[in-house]
Structure formats: structure tokens, C-alpha cells
Structure 1
């Protein structure tokens, strides 16, 4: 593990001392605690993905009832909120390294595409079942939600701290 940010306040000695402390603390952990540390990442990622899919399903009634700017405002707010939650969960897991962020950066587009499929298929199903003529395109709603969901993660890691792909 080496520092990822260029901080002029830390001397190389300070950085090395901090890394030594972290290394000693890591080696003092029991094997159970180390395994638990690694599983926290995957459990948090799984819960965030499930929560994201639940929000996608919750979007369906809004899609069928609302229209115009009000609909897209709610979708953007929901997407940003869930995206920020996802990003905060991932950021707060202490042991994440670059390869973890690369995995997340690859998983997020799949989550967005899967959400597009869920929103589109379920909205079409319910519109046909209830015989509702809805002028909103579920595909566009899904894209707006997906982009809103992705923005917090990419903003934080690419523009704010530039931690990924460095």
C-alpha cells in the first residue's frame, strides 16, 4: 500500500511511519477478522446492488403516473441519492485498493444496463396489464436514472481525488 494523494504536508518519514503502523495493525488481526474485512466489501456491494434494483422497481409507478420535468427531477434526485449512498459505502470501506475500484468501475455499467432492462420490461408489462397509455419512454427514464446513479462515484474518484486508474 502506498499513498495515493500528493499531499505536501506529509514528509516521506511521516508517510512511512503511517504505513508501518497500518501494516503492524493488519498483521495483528486474527485470520477471522481479516476474512471478515474482505467479506465486508462484497457484502456492502451486494446490499447496495440489491437496494439499487429495489429503487428501480419503485421508479415504475412514478414513470406511469408522473410526466415531464417533475418526473425527471424525481428520477435524478433518486439516482443521485442512491449513487451517493453507493459511493459512500464503497469509500468508507478502509481496505479498498485500486483493483477493488476497478471491479466497481466495471460493475456499475452492468448495474445501469440491468436497471434499464428492469425498468423497461416492468413498465411495459404494467402498462399493458393496466391498459395505460404512457407518453414516457421507460428507456429514457432508465438512462436518466443510470447516469444520475453513476455521477457521484465517477465525480468523487475521477475529478475530486483522482483515485482510480492512477
Structure 2
């Protein structure tokens, strides 16, 4: 009965806190690292598909709005998709530096390709329907979208110190 009423010393309390904290921070399973990689590649695939859908959804706008409005719309959509991507990537806890580089290079390149395809398809549709098409450079529109898309991610990477430059 006396054992139940025993008071802990400061040293014992401190030691117990250390044990609890170290167990909380230490991942005992190897599956978490593997699961993070699966989640990472799934997020990249979803963002690639999302970028393609967004670029195809913009085709009617290309046929109906002027250059300035189109550029503003593309920047806002790029920022929105970039914020979504940044949110998803930041929720994955343990991804390597190389995965950040892959994401930072692959997604904008694919966005430029998507927007190039979008411009070609919109020009084709515009010609078939005899509508005036915004004669903006497909590369310029793709780069504008890619820059807006990358802005939230790069801001987070540079200011959070996730990538270390030697």
C-alpha cells in the first residue's frame, strides 16, 4: 500500500519525461518512411493530372477573353494550384531533399507542356469554330503558370530551410 503513495523525485519525473519524449519522436516502424514515399508520388501524380485538367478547362477562356484577363486568370489559377500542392507536400513529414528537387523541377516542366498543348488545342478549336483565339505565346503562358504555381512552394522551401545549399 505504501508503494502506491510514493512520491516521485524531480529526477524521476525528468527521466520519465525524457523517455516519453524520446519514444514519441522515434518512429519504430520502417513502414512510415515507405508510406511517405507512396504518399509523395501519389500527390505528384494527382497534381500532374490536376494541372492537365486545369489546362484543358481553360480552353474556353482562351477563346473568349483578352490577353490581359487571360494572364491574370492564369496567375490566379497557378497560385491556387501551387498553394494546394504546397499544402499537400508539407503534410508529408519525412521526404528527402531530392524529392523536393524533383517536385520543384518536374511539375513546372509538365505545366509548361500542358499549357503548350492547351494553346494548340484551343487554336485548333478556334479555327474550326472560326473564333478569334488569343494569339499569346504558348510558352509564355506555360511559363507564367509555372512561375505562379511554383511561387508558394519556393517561398516555403527557401524560408523554412528545407533545402540546404552548399
* TM-score, with length taken from structure 1: 0.75
| Map of 1:151 onto structure 2 | 151
| Map of 1:114 onto structure 2 | 113
TM-aligned CA distance change 1:46 to 1:68, over 3 Å = same
- Give the drift of 1:38: 2.5
- Please give the alpha-carbon distance, in whole angstroms, between the structure 1 residues aligned to 2:44 and 2:21: 28
| Map of 2:71 onto structure 1 | 72
Q: How many residues matched?
A: 145
- Please give the alpha-carbon distance, in whole angstroms, between the structure 2 residues aligned to 1:83 and 1:19: 35
Counterpart contact for 2:62–2:134, Cα < 8 Å:
no
Q: Which runs of 5+ in 1 are unaligned?
A: 1-16
Secondary structure of the structure 2 residue equivalent to 1:84 = helix
Indicate yes or no: 2:89 matched with 1:90. Answer: yes
| Map of 1:10 onto structure 2 | none
- Please give the alpha-carbon distance, in whole angstroms, between the structure 1 residues aligned to 2:59 and 2:123: 10
- Give the drift of 1:87: 1.2
- Please give the alpha-carbon distance, in whole angstroms, between the structure 2 residues aligned to 1:148 and 1:19: 41
Counterpart contact for 2:33–2:94, Cα < 8 Å:
no
- Please give the alpha-carbon distance, in whole angstroms, between the structure 1 residues aligned to 2:148 and 2:22: 36
| Map of 1:123 onto structure 2 | 122
- Please give the alpha-carbon distance, in whole angstroms, between the structure 1 residues aligned to 2:89 and 2:107: 12
- Please give the alpha-carbon distance, in whole angstroms, between the structure 2 residues aligned to 1:165 and 1:131: 52
Larger Cα Rg: Structure 1 or Structure 2?
A: 2
Indicate the RMSD between aligned Cα atoms, in angstroms: 2.4
Counterpart contact for 2:122–2:133, Cα < 8 Å:
no
TM-aligned CA distance change 1:100 to 1:132, over 3 Å = same
| Map of 1:43 onto structure 2 | 42
- Give the drift of 1:35: 3.6
Counterpart contact for 1:63–1:138, Cα < 8 Å:
no
* TM-score, with length taken from structure 2: 0.75
